[in-house]
Structure formats: C-alpha cells, structure tokens
A and B are shown apart, each in its own frame.
Chain A
Amino acid sequence: MPERELTVGVGAGGLATADMVLNIGPQHPATHGVLRLRITLDGERIKAAEPIVGYMHRGAEKLFEVRDYRQILVLANRHDWLSAFSSEIGAALIVERMLGMDVPERATWVRTLLAELNRVLNHLMFLGSYPLELGAITPIFYAFREREELQAVMEEVAGGRMHYMFGRIGGLRDDLPMGWTGRVREAIDAVRRRLPDLENMLVGNEILQARTRGVGILDPKTIAAYGVSGPIARASGVDVDLRRDQPYLAYDELFAPGGPGRVVTREAGDCLARLEVLLEQVHVSLELAQACLERIESLGPGPVNVKLPKVLKVPEGADYLATENPLGFNGYYLVSRGDKTPWRLKLRSASFNNVQVLSTLLPGTLLADMVAILGSMFFVVGDVDK
C-alpha cells in the first residue's frame, strides 16, 4: 500500500476542503523501477504532480571520468538497459569523431542493423508492458515471443542478451558469425508475419482505445519547453528524428529520398497516438534492418574494426553528439584534456526529459488515467537517474 498523507486545509473560511497527497512509488506495481510521483489530489482529479527522481542514481557521469574509453562503453550500455546498443554506439561515435577516426563501412552497416534491431526490442517491450499497465495481460506474451526471436540473433552475434558490448571504438568486437545474416532475415520475417496478432490486440481493440484516446494530450509547445523527444514528441506532431535530421551511422543513405526510412508522426498527441507511433516504428525499423542486411551481404567481407593503440587518448577539445535512441535523443558531451579518460562526459538521456513533462501533463487529469499516461511516456528509470 502506498503511503498516504492527509493534509487538512486550514485558513480562510468557507468550506474546508482537504487535498490528499498520494505517493506513487518509489516501490509501486504501477511504476517501472523506482520512479516516485508525488500527486496532490482534489477528489479524483490530480491537482499537482511531481516526479521525484534519483532513487537509482549511480553517478554514471562521474564513473565515466575514471575509466578509459574502452571501459566507458561498458557503462554507456547500462543507463538505459533497453537501448544498450544504441547508447554504446553513441559513446563510440563521439570518441571516433574527436579522434577523426574512420570506421570501416561494413562495421557502420552492421552497427546500423543492430541499432535498429535494438529499437525493435525496446519498442516491443513497451508494446507489451503498456497494455499490462492498462490491465491487459495477454499482449506481453506476444511481445516477448517476438523479442525472444530477435534476442536470439542478438545473443548469437554479441554474446549478451541485454548488455551487448559488441561495439568498440573504431568498429565492432568481432565479425559476424557464419550464416548469421540468414538467421536474422528469418527472425525479421517471423516477427513481421506475427506482428498483426499483437497489433490487433492493441490499436484495434476498443477497450484499449477507450482507455487511451484523448487521454494525456501533450501539445508541441510543452514538448519544446521540456525538451521531450523521440516517439512521444512525434506522437504530438513534432516531426523530428535525428536519424534523418542529423544523420549518423548509415542513416543518411537509409533516410534519403526513395530509401526505406521514414519518420512516423501522429497529430493527436494522446496516449493512443504514442502507442501507434511505437507500433509503426517497429515496422519501419524492421524495414531498415532488412535494408541493412541486404547492404551487408552486397558489401561482402571486409574489416569490421580498426587497430587501436595500446593507450587511446582523445585530443584536447569538446564535442557533442546526439543519437536517436529508441526513447529519444541520447547525447554525449565529451570534454577531453588529452588524457586517456574523459575530463567530463555529460550524458543527456531521453527519459530524464520525457519524465519531467509529467508535472505539467498530469494536473487536471483523473487519477484513473494516471497509470495510462505514466505508462505511455515510455521511460526507463535507469535512463532517468543515470
């Protein structure tokens, strides 16, 4: 049972009303991880909501400063455990850019492929867990069946199921295992074949629509004010996607006119729109992954990494690079003083900004809709607390 405080209003005459302060979390079945929401209620309506973060703060940015660039990737993997590959690639990309290092083409395409598969894995997780929060038990089993399919190929190439540690400064750890591309193609085909099952249970379902349509509408102005990014911003019609707008990896080619890449947007800005964006992004990402596979096969064999010196020192300077992680912008601001460790590595994580907006999004809504809105913000608490 969440702790309850009853604050009785005293003061200027009239009818004495009482606001109830309701703590959701830090340990609560409706929150993922340990996000705490302090909600002030007036009857059934939320008057104020304050996300209280930091219960899982691990000091990632400080830990970065005492580790060399190879070791940093291990930590970059972990703050958002559902976007591990995207995060580690972002850290590798900023170091490579400051070094002026060229990455072999094959490595870039394999990185793009794995980043897209990682995006599908991330989205499938939320497509399963969000209905669970709304009371639908079944979809998570369908989502996890597809996740398992893709995780098998990720594990085959990287050896890990969550923290891949497959990216390296200058490329990738290893080349692809024999026959792997064929198995990825089979996995992608299987997921695409079975995805309609999940889709019909979600966006096609009247019960879910009734819980989510018109609930928790986020307008583009608030999005700009809070720096909200990713699928949540795009669900409100903010047409921004770093894969297209600031291309990194092989995205400039994939998002070129005629390419398979497209940015999914919705106008409604409610919970249903956010879910729809996620669902359609799964389709787009699978198409992108397929395009990457074709390119990897047509490129043929080649190097996947570059020979690194024993001690890797980044030249003095500062640089910022953001990638479009599954949940939004994930930026690294790297300040180097020419040492083998960064002097400062600032992490701009997507979920941190996305969660802050709850303080303006929740007031005025009903308590019963709180979980629907909270779940549709698609965040990972490790990414909030860093």
Chain B
Amino acid sequence: MTKFLSGLAKGMATTARTMTTHAHTQQYPHVKPELPSRSRGVIALLEENCTSCMLCARECPDWCIYIDSHKETTPPTTEGGRARQHNVLDRFAIDFSLCMYCGICIEVCPFDALFWSPEFEYSTTDIRDLLQEKETLGQWMPTVPAPEPLVPELPQTEAQQLVVDVEPEDDPAAGRTTKRGAGEVPRPGTEEQP
C-alpha cells in the first residue's frame, strides 16, 4: 500500500508544479481565438467573379454545392454590333451539413470566386439551416484574410518561370496563371493519355 502512496504523492507534486505555471485555458466566447490565415472555417463567395461554370459543383467530393443560372443576352452597344450572351447566377448554395471542408472547390475555381475564411461561428440548431445561400456566403467575404506573402526565398522570376514552362497544348488551363502558380512544376508523362 505504501508504494502506491509515493505514486500518489509524485502525481500531486507534478500538479503542484504545474499550478505555478500560467494556465493554457482560452476564454473562448469572451476572447476570440487567433486563427491562422489558412484556417478552413467557412467558404466565402465573391459573386461577381462567379461565371456559374459548375466546376466546383462537379469536383466536390460529396456534391454539396448547388448552382442555378440562366443565360441573358445583352444587346449590342454599338450600331451593327453583336449581341452577347452571359450567364447570370441565380442560386449558389453550399450545404455545410455535407461539406467535408477539403477545399477542392476553392482550388478548382478558375475565376477566384471562392475563398477560405477562418470564420467558424455559424452553427445552427437545425441541420437544414446549414444550407447557406449566396447572400450568406457573400457576407463572409470581408472575413477572408489577405493573400499570404510568397515565400521570400523563392525569387519571383523563378516562380514565374515555373508557370511559363507549361506547354499550353497539353492542358488548356495551363496558360492561365493560377492562384498557386508558384511552386508548380510541369511533369512530363503525367498528362492525360487519349
């Protein structure tokens, strides 16, 4: 029995020692946590940039993005000009009860319409309320952190070089400067085989 007492005493000693150090408790509702800028809290939508191309909805691993759009024709602005058609976004909704927070939609968006925001306080008492429409998604835009500075060691010229190296005929998307252009290197042999 006495040997257990010494174990107990040692444990108490550790507790006593820890009591003298500062607490690690975060006073959450009163003090907001400082979240890193990459934190994946919620997906914000910049509606103006969305062309309703449906790429995000198709690439989503559990298909939780809903997009409705219709075509509108703008009359020619000049005499004898051509009428132009463009997509108008009617509905853009993300069901956060299904979302797995993988960020694939944000990566595939070719027009930078989707962004991660560290905002996380949008829990609801009803699961149906987690289906967020474009108005709500747009409200999160101001909480999106500024883009990270590029890694300083990587010279800008080198980063550009890496993107330019891509041969446009292999991949129609390659000519476009992507969000994550720096650091990507084309690799021969991995292109899609017909």
> Which A residues lie at the B interface, using CB under 8 A?
67, 70-71, 73-75, 78, 99-102, 104, 136, 138, 142, 145, 148, 152, 155-160, 163, 165, 170, 173-178, 197, 200-201, 204-208, 210, 300-313, 315
Contacts and interface: CB of A to CB of B under 8 A. Distances in A.
B142 interface: no
A175 B185 CA distance: 13
A159 B184 contact: no
Contacts of B14: 138, 197, 200-201
B37 to A, nearest CB: 8
Given A205-B7, A310-B171, 20 more contacts: A100-B189, A101-B187, A104-B185, A136-B11, A138-B15, A155-B35, A160-B40, A163-B101, A170-B190, A174-B180, A178-B151, A197-B17, A205-B10, A304-B183, A305-B185, A306-B186, A307-B166, A307-B185, A310-B192, A315-B193
A301 B38 contact: no
Contacts of A163: 100-102
A248 to B, nearest CB: 19
Interface of A is mostly: loop
A155 B36 contact: yes
B18 interface: yes
B152 A178 contact: yes
B3 interface: yes
B25 to A, nearest CB: 10
Contacts of B153: 300-301
B185 A197 contact: no
B169 interface: no
Nearest to B6: A206
Contacts of A176: 151
14 contacts: A67-B61, A74-B61, A75-B61, A156-B36, A159-B40, A165-B102, A175-B154, A178-B151, A205-B11, A206-B7, A210-B4, A304-B183, A305-B183, A310-B172
Contact of A71 (B11, B61, B101): B61
Nearest to A168: B107
B182 interface: yes
B127 interface: no
A175 B7 contact: no
B122 to A, nearest CB: 17
A102 B188 CA distance: 10
Given A138-B11, A301-B154, A303-B185, A313 B39 contact: no
Contact of A159 (B103, B171, B186, B193): B103
Contacts of B149: 178
B4 A206 contact: yes
Contacts of A156: 36, 38
B85 to A, nearest CB: 25
B12 to A, nearest CB: 10
B174 interface: yes
B104 A201 contact: no
Which among B35, B148, B192 has the greatest number of chain A C-beta atoms within 10 A? B192
B179 to A, nearest CB: 10
Contacts of B32: none
A197 B21 CA distance: 13
A175 B40 contact: no
6 shortest interchain CB distances as A-B pairs: A206-B7, A301-B153, A159-B38, A71-B61, A156-B36, A159-B40
Interface string B118-139: 0000000000000000000000
A108 B38 CA distance: 21
A170 B184 CA distance: 10
B177 to A, nearest CB: 13
A155 B61 CA distance: 22
B82 interface: no
A175 B34 CA distance: 21
A218 B184 CA distance: 48
A272 to B, nearest CB: 14
Contacts of A136: 11
Contacts of B37: 177
A160 B116 CA distance: 11
A75 B102 CA distance: 10
Contact of B151 (A102, A142, A201, A301): A301
Contacts of B183: 174-175, 302-305
B148 A178 contact: yes
A157 B170 CA distance: 31
B4 A310 contact: no
Given A159-B38, A307-B174, A101 B190 contact: yes
B8 interface: yes
Contacts of A197: 14, 17-18
B53 interface: no
Contacts of B104: 70-71, 74
A204 B173 CA distance: 60
Contact of B3 (A100, A157, A206, A308): A206
